[in-house]
C-alpha cells in the first residue's frame, strides 16, 4: 500500500476485498493512553473526529507527526498513535514547520488551545501563514484557561468574570478566524465537536490542502466555561457556511463572515486560496537538494562542531 492510499482493509476478511473500504479504522490511531480530561469536555469530541479523519486520510501512524503545546488541549498528541511531540507553551507551530521541512514526506499536525495559539504563541501565526508550509494547525478554542483553573484567555468574552478578572474583563477578545485570515493564511475553517461528522470532514479537508491550514474548533470547557457555550446550545446556534452558499475563494466575504460573531456559530471553510500551493516549502526543498547535490545529509556531529565555543577536544 502506498503512503497516500486509502484503499484496502487492515483486517483479513473472507470474500472479495472492498476497494472503497478505508485502509485503517479510527481505533488504529488510538495510542492506548486513556484521556484524563474532565468528564464531558469538548476535547473528547475533537479527538473522536480526529480519529475518524485520520482513518479517512489513510496514512499509517508511522507517517504522521503530531506536535502540541501546553494546556488541556496539549494532551491530545499523546492520545494519537503517531510520532508525537509535546512542545513548550505556544511553540507547537515552529516545531511542526521544522519537522515538515526536514521530513516533507510526513503528514504534520499541530494543536493547541486559544491561549497557546493566540497569547504566548500568537506571534507564530502570521509567520506560519506567510511561509505557507504544508501543515495543519488545530486550535481547540474553549474561551478560557482551563488547565490553570479558569483565568481569562485571549478569546474570553468582554465583561467575563474569571479567576484573573473578578471585576469582569475590560479587554475585547481576539477573533481567531478573523486574525488568521488577516494574517494571510491560505486555508481557514471553523468547526465544533457538536457536529462530529462535519468536524471530521473539515480536518480531512484541511490536511489535504497543500499549504498552511488553520482550523479553529469551538470546544466547550465544562468546568470553567460558560453555560451558553455547551455542546447542546452550540447545536442550536450552528450555521453551516453552505447555508449561505458561501464561496470559500471569496476572501473579502470570508472576512465579513468572520467578523459577524453575534449569536451565530459559523462552521465550514471560510477561505481556501485557489493558489494555495506550498510554494516556499517547495523552493526550500529544492535549495536543500541542490546544496547537497543529491548527497546524503552530513553527519550531525560535524555540523555541531562548527558552532562550538572554545578549544575543540583532540
CATH number at residue 242: 3.40.50.970
Is residue 247 one of the residues assigned to a domain?
yes
Is residue 178 one of the residues assigned to a domain?
yes
Residue (of 57, 139, 62, 65) closest to 101 by Cα position:
65
Number of domains in the chain: 1
Buried b vs exposed e over 76-85: b needs ≥16 C-beta within 10 Å?
bbebbbbbbe
Is residue 87 one of the residues assigned to a domain?
yes
Is residue 239 one of the residues assigned to a domain?
yes
Is residue 41 one of the residues assigned to a domain?
yes
**Within 10 A of 48 (CB to CB), how many other CB atoms are there?**
15
Is residue 1 one of the residues assigned to a domain?
no
Alpha helices in the chain (DSSP H): 42-57, 92-102, 114-115, 122-131, 176-182, 196-208, 231-237, 251-259, 279-292, 300-305
Phi, psi of 66 (to 5 degrees): -130, 115
Is residue 292 one of the residues assigned to a domain?
yes
| Cα distance between residue 73 and residue 116, in whole Å | 9
Phi, psi of 19 (to 5 degrees): -65, -20
What residues make up the domain containing 161? 26-305
Q: Which residues, in sequence order, are CB contacts of 7 under 8 Å at separation 6+?
A: 1, 19, 20, 21, 23, 58
Is residue 311 one of the residues assigned to a domain?
no
pTM above 0.85, yes or no: no
pLDDT tens, the chain, 314 aa long: 333 333 333 333 333 434 455 689 999 999 999 999 999 898 999 999 999 999 999 999 999 999 999 888 889 999 999 998 888 887 899 999 999 988 889 999 999 998 888 888 888 999 999 989 999 999 999 877 877 776 778 887 877 777 877 888 788 889 999 999 999 999 999 999 999 999 999 999 999 998 999 999 999 888 887 766 777 888 888 899 999 999 999 999 999 999 987 778 999 999 999 876 656 666 766 776 776 666 666 677 777 787 777 665 54
Is 51:29 a contact under the CB 8 Å cutoff? yes
| Cα distance between residue 217 and residue 267, in whole Å | 9
Residue 234 half-sphere exposure, CB side, CA atoms within 13 Å?
20
Amino acid at each position: 500500500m502506498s503512503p497516500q492510499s486509502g484503499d484496502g482493509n487492515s483486517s483479513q476478511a473472507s470474500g472479495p476485498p472492498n476497494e472503497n473500504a478505508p485502509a485503517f479504522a479510527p481505533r488504529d490511531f488510538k495510542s492506548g493512553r486513556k484521556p484524563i480530561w474532565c468528564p464531558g469536555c469538548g476535547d473528547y469530541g475533537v479527538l473522536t473526529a480526529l480519529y475518524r479523519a485520520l482513518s479517512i486520510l489513510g496514512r499509517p501512524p508511522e507517517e504522521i507527526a503530531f506536535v502540541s503545546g501546553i494546556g488541556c488541549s496539549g494532551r491530545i498528541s499523546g492520545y494519537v498513535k503517531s510520532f508525537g511531540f509535546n512542545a513548550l507553551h505556544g511553540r507547537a507551530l515552529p516545531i511542526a514547520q521544522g519537522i515538515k521541512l526536514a521530513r516533507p514526506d510526513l503528514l504534520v499536525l499541530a494543536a493547541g488551545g486559544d491561549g497557546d495559539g493566540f497569547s504566548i504563541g500568537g506571534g507564530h501565526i502570521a509567520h506560519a501563514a506567510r511561509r505557507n508550509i504544508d501543515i495543519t494547525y488545530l486550535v481547540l478554542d474553549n474561551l478560557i484557561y482551563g488547565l490553570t483553573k479558569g483565568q481569562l484567555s485571549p478569546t474570553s468574552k468582554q465583561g467575563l468574570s474569571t479567576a484573573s478578572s473578578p471585576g469582569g474583563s475590560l479587554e475585547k477578545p481576539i477573533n481567531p478566524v478573523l486574525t488568521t485570515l488577516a494574517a494571510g493564511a491560505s486555508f481557514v475553517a471553523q468547526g465544533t465537536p457538536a457536529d462530529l461528522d462535519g468536524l471530521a470532514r473539515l480536518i480531512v479537508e484541511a490536511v489535504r490542502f497543500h499549504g498552511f491550514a488553520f482550523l479553529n474548533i469551538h470546544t466547550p470547557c465544562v468546568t470553567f466555561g460558560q453555560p451558553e457555550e455547551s455542546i447542546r446550545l452550540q447545536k442550536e446556534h450552528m450555521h453551516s457556511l453552505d447555508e449561505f452558499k458561501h464561496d470559500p475563494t471569496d476572501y473579502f466575504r470570508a472576512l465579513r463572515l468572520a467578523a459577524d460573531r453575534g449569536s451565530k456559530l459559523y462552521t465550514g471553510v471560510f477561505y481556501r486560496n485557489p493558489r494555495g500551493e506550498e510554494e516556499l516549502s517547495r523552493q526550500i526543498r529544492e535549495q536543500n537538494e541542490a546544496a547537497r547535490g543529491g548527497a546524503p545529509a552530513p553527519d550531525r556531529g560535524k555540523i555541531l562542531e562548527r558552532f562550538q565555543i572554545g578549544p575543540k577536544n583532540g
